[in-house]
Homo-oligomer: A and B are copies of this chain.
Amino acid sequence: MLLTRRFKHCPSCGAPVQYLVPPDDNRERATCTACASIHYENPINVVGTLPVYGEQVLLCRRNIEPRYGMWTLPAGFLELGETSAQGAARETDEEAGAEIELQDLYCVLNVVRVGQIHLYYRARLLSDRFNPGPETIEARLFHEHEIPWDELAFRTVRETLQRFFEDRRLGRPYALHCADVG
């Protein structure tokens, strides 16, 4: 599997690691051949927002790989030292330069294939002026009928947008959606 066996050397002492099942464990772990320390590999979190301005939602056109030129909700990897809400707000600022009021957690999407959980918060845009950072070619608002469905960067962006428009169309309260994305 692409995601595992990321370690060739021990990040503590630099000696080669072997993948072995430690005592009292049931999975192979990167185990140092010199200092015997064990190094775990776990899924990581992507955090972002679904920023709404009246009838419209904000998308960012990516200026970076992967998916250069495709459209995404503002999102990125959660960093140490911040909460998921803080990370989502930071990414919205960095990628779109958008002023928002962060609302509730809206989607928790497992993407097992890449070892990620994507957490999207709804957000209310306080302005329709944006100041995108270097990772974004363009940040702009879209009505539902304008969404570039075939040019979305990630499956979780599509899933989040689809659920939002469906909830809105049906007049449903915006409760949490959990799903697994292939």
Question: Footprint of B on A, CB under 8 Å?
Answer: 1, 3-4, 6-17, 24, 27, 30, 39-45, 77-85, 104-105, 108, 110, 112, 115, 117, 119, 134, 175-176, 178, 180
Contacts and interface: CB of A to CB of B under 8 A. Distances in A.
Given A14-B15, A44-B43, A27 B79 contact: yes
Contacts of A43: 44-45, 78-80
Q: What is the oligomeric copy number?
A: 2
Contacts of A24: 134
Given A1-B80, A117-B84, A8 B12 contact: yes
Given A83-B110, A112-B81, A180-B83, A11 B40 contact: no
Given A1-B81, A9-B9, A84-B108, 8 more contacts: A3-B81, A6-B11, A8-B13, A8-B14, A43-B45, A81-B112, A104-B178, A108-B108
A11 to B, nearest CB: 4
Given A83-B110, A176-B105, A77 B42 contact: yes
A136 to B, nearest CB: 12
Given A43-B44, A44-B44, A115 B80 contact: yes
Given A108-B108, A178-B104, A79 B42 contact: yes
B84 A110 contact: yes
B8 A11 contact: yes
A180 B82 CA distance: 10
Contacts of A7: 11
A16 B15 CA distance: 11
A45 B115 CA distance: 11
Nearest to A13: B9
Nearest to A7: B11
A105 to B, nearest CB: 5
